[in-house]
Structure 1
Amino acid sequence: MTSRFPEPLIIAIDQGTTSTRCVITDGAGAVVSSAQYEHQQILPRQGWVEHDAREIWANVRRTVTVAMVEQDITVEDVGALGLTNQRETAVVWDRATGEPIHNAIVWQDTRTADDGDARRWLARTGLMANSYPAGPKIAWILDHVDGARERAADGELLCGTMDTWLLWNLTGGARGNPVYATDVTNASRTLLMDLRTQTWDPELCEAVGVPISMLPEIRASIGEFGSVRHRGLLAGVPITGVLGDQQAALFGQACFAVGDAKNTYGTGLFLLLNTGETPHLSESGLLTTVAWQVAGQAPVYALEGSVAVGGSLIQWLRDQLGVLRTAADSETLAGQVEDSGGVYIVPAFSGLFAPRWRPDARGTITGLTRFADRRHLARAALEATALQTREVVRAMEEDSGVALERLRVDGGMVANELLMQIQADVLGTPVERPANVETTVLGAGYAAAVGAGWATLDDIAARVTVDRTWESAMGEERRRALIDGWNIAVAASFGQA
């Protein structure tokens, strides 16, 4: 059977924190079909966040099926598959049955908070030794599930971030001969990989408590990851690109030059700056990570600032407080007032991430008076998003020595045009939104295209176009007053854990 499409289609799977998507694109990067399903957020106790890895795998199959059936796409139409995933989320499963031995522990989870020197492995891994990386989460599961350590030592258990779990299942699982691998971007988020050699570090593995023998193979992000198992709709399709979600967004924004940066406004906020083939260690509270690696080439590195709470603050105002009826109300209500009336929201629900790294901080609302109403709370939420981003940008400028000339943005929140204006105002820097803001899933697709040999980086860069640019309209005096008030509010959030 021949394909009815002039060029092979690419399937991109985006396994995110709250949902899983399948987006099918043509040779020009245009979306042909898509599907998306949410999964349950499991909250066993305060600070703990878990996912059912089986539900996520089921949703991957479901989204692929729906997206293909919607447009009568067959396996003959598909040439390659790319995968991107929520990073740091860890799962441990039985090699023989494919059953997880515990719920996946999500990147937001704080149970593995570390009281030691957070910077002790920074030079080797680029990461802080705190609750964020995946390695300590794997160790926690081994320590808290009866018999798990013994079973791991006997070779009965496998582990990894969500890309490894999905690759293993996509390529055969317990009933086949699966690929047991991760890509270098996800491996760089575990606290177990040497940043410069891109290999598992035996000393780190022993210190964190993860047997090196149970870890997957580390591969380049863009290259061969095997083929989809020979049952189901995608039998035999090659998997040629795997990236952690924020690296996929950087790739999808075509930030291929040293100094290019993007910020993703999703559940959290993630700002990455391309630093080229040399890792730069931060002195300002940022992380160093692998941005991507093309097979046979040197890896590209990035500085990263991760903020735990972005769009989830809007969800909290909507779902927990009832301040908003819909997420879109945040723009409508905030636009009805000129400022927040002195109200600040510090969304330190699980501490503060970059650049402050304060696990003892907790969510705080300051500046409340009888004058304040839900319009001011909505405005304060948007300002909190922009002000947290500003802190990361300034830290990045200090580390790199380069002033950001523009900020490329993507993610669900960038549809909020008032937020984008506030962001430009707070930064004093232009903000650019691409024509297609779904850069994470597009990045996975682009990586697969490059991995399959159908596209070059120049081809990808030519596809990325700017939809709108926001320029700063705020005076320096007002900007400084807003920032000073924010710093006071953040200080009030400390010492509450």
Structure 2
Amino acid sequence: MSGLLTDPEQRAQEPRHPGFVLGLDVGSSVIRCHVYDRAARVCGSSVQKVENLYPQIGWVEIDPDVLWIQFVAVIKEAVKAAGIQMNQIVGLGISTQRATFITWNKKTGNHFHNFISWQDLRAVELVKSWNNSLLMKIFHSSCRVLHFFTRSKRLFTASLFTFTTQQTSLRLVWILQNLTEVQKAVEEENCCFGTIDTWLLYKLTKGSVYATDFSNASTTGLFDPYKMCWSGMITSLISIPLSLLPPVRDTSHNFGSVDEEIFGVPIPIVALVADQQSAMFGECCFQTGDVKLTMGTGTFLDINTGNSLQQTTGGFYPLIGWKIGQEVVCLAESNAGDTGTAIKWAQQL
């Protein structure tokens, strides 16, 4: 019948009471935004391809300026598709690929280099060297001896710890060793470090908020999930100053608001979460023993281990799933990083 309004038109003409939430996911392949109403229905969406750069064999980077433009664009496009206004948004939650990082000038906000992706292999020789080093052998032996006397789960896990290229840790060491501009900034305490969530939060708040959450921090290889803080042992071992690392907050937290200049209104930022932990939560894997398998750019198998970290072997490692108030959910995870590449290769045969 003529005169009837479509759903977006109806929403646009409803009283401007707030009631919609933005869910942003910055993945390894795409960046997408969904607009959810109070019933958790998707009202509008937008997606763009993440433009990975390959400046050298084995190197994988993302241009932060391009990512920022895409981030802002998908939000505007999704809100437009939903037929609502920005002042109807009551919250923004951000899920991101993990362990991809950047460093930037604390005073100017300018980045020193592109994002170094979790898929990047530039630190592979550092990883091999450290894992085979005498220092690591001494570290493992010391932890085993101490575990024998204390039966500490933390020391048992430390005795099995190895570096990988997926972790942020040695890729950050590579940057510190090879970019004199970053070295100088660190010495002058004028350097900020962050994974994608931290950098986006910093950009969205025009530099007023600098933080990460427990799920993202726990995937860097620099975090102690038993003490729920950055690891003094690991950072001391590889000479990364603790002062370089951002404060760690709850996954669901008041992270401040988006600066009004960006979207015309301040939008509360209410959650930061790593993508695999986000998928675990989204699949309602809330009970101890629940299992989630994600097959995307990589394959990730996660097991909910409740509120305690388990002594893990056989390729599993402990992570923080999320922290909401007093609730801490722990995971055991194993992964294979090249699933998406293998599938694309098979499709081209």
* TM-score, length basis structure 2: 0.84
Question: Does 2:191 correspond to 1:157?
Answer: yes
The corresponding residue for 2:216 is 186
Question: Does 2:67 correspond to 1:68?
Answer: no
Matches within 5 A, 1:420-431: none
SS at match of 1:147: helix
Deviation (angstroms), 1:266: 0.9
The corresponding residue for 2:131 is 117
CA-to-partner distance for each residue in 1:25-53, whole Å, 9 max, x for gaps? 11111111111111322112222211112
Q: Kindly indicate whether the alpha-carbon contact (under 8 Å) linking 1:153 and 1:211 is maintained by their aligned counterparts in 2.
A: no
Q: Kindly indicate whether the alpha-carbon contact (under 8 Å) linking 1:102 and 1:141 is maintained by their aligned counterparts in 2.
A: no
Q: Kindly indicate whether the alpha-carbon contact (under 8 Å) linking 2:101 and 2:193 is maintained by their aligned counterparts in 1.
A: yes
SS at match of 1:258: coil
CA-to-partner distance for each residue in 1:132-154, whole Å, 9 max, x for gaps? 11122222212211232121121
SS at match of 1:179: coil
| Pair 1:313–1:80, CA change in 2 (3 A) | same
Unpaired runs of 5+ residues, structure 1, are 324-497
| Pair 1:69–1:125, CA change in 2 (3 A) | farther
Letter of the structure 2 residue corresponding to residue 314 of structure 1:
I
Structure 1 runs (4+) greater than 6 angstroms displaced: none
The corresponding residue for 1:287 is 317
Cα distance in 1 for residues equivalent to 2:309 and 2:211: 23
Q: Which residue, 325, 331, 335 being the options, matches 1:302? A: 331
Cα distance in 2 for residues equivalent to 1:157 and 1:227: 23
| Pair 1:234–1:83, CA change in 2 (3 A) | farther
Letter of the structure 1 residue corresponding to residue 162 of structure 2:
M
Matches within 5 A, 1:414-493: none
Q: Kindly indicate whether the alpha-carbon contact (under 8 Å) linking 1:273 and 1:303 is maintained by their aligned counterparts in 2.
A: yes
Question: Does 2:165 correspond to 1:131?
Answer: yes
Deviation (angstroms), 1:124: 4.5
* TM-score, length basis structure 1: 0.60
SS at match of 1:276: coil
Q: Kindly indicate whether the alpha-carbon contact (under 8 Å) linking 1:127 and 1:288 is maintained by their aligned counterparts in 2.
A: no
Question: Does 2:277 correspond to 1:247?
Answer: yes
The corresponding residue for 1:315 is 344
Cα distance in 2 for residues equivalent to 1:100 and 1:201: 25
The corresponding residue for 2:291 is 261
Q: Kindly indicate whether the alpha-carbon contact (under 8 Å) linking 2:277 and 2:321 is maintained by their aligned counterparts in 1.
A: yes
Unpaired runs of 5+ residues, structure 2, are 1-11, 141-154
Cα distance in 1 for residues equivalent to 2:50 and 2:186: 28
Cα distance in 2 for residues equivalent to 1:87 and 1:4: 39
Letter of the structure 1 residue corresponding to residue 330 of structure 2:
Y
Cα distance in 2 for residues equivalent to 1:158 and 1:122: 32
Q: Kindly indicate whether the alpha-carbon contact (under 8 Å) linking 1:126 and 1:287 is maintained by their aligned counterparts in 2.
A: no
Deviation (angstroms), 1:209: 3.1
CA-to-partner distance for each residue in 1:364-415, whole Å, 9 max, x for gaps? xxxxxxxxxxxxxxxxxxxxxxxxxxxxxxxxxxxxxxxxxxxxxxxxxxxx
SS at match of 1:311: helix
Letter of the structure 2 residue corresponding to residue 281 of structure 1:
Q
Question: Does 2:97 correspond to 1:90?
Answer: no
Question: Does 2:258 correspond to 1:228?
Answer: yes
Q: Give the number of the structure whose residues are more often strand, by fraction.
A: 2
RMSD value over aligned CA atoms? 2.3
Cα distance in 1 for residues equivalent to 2:236 and 2:328: 26
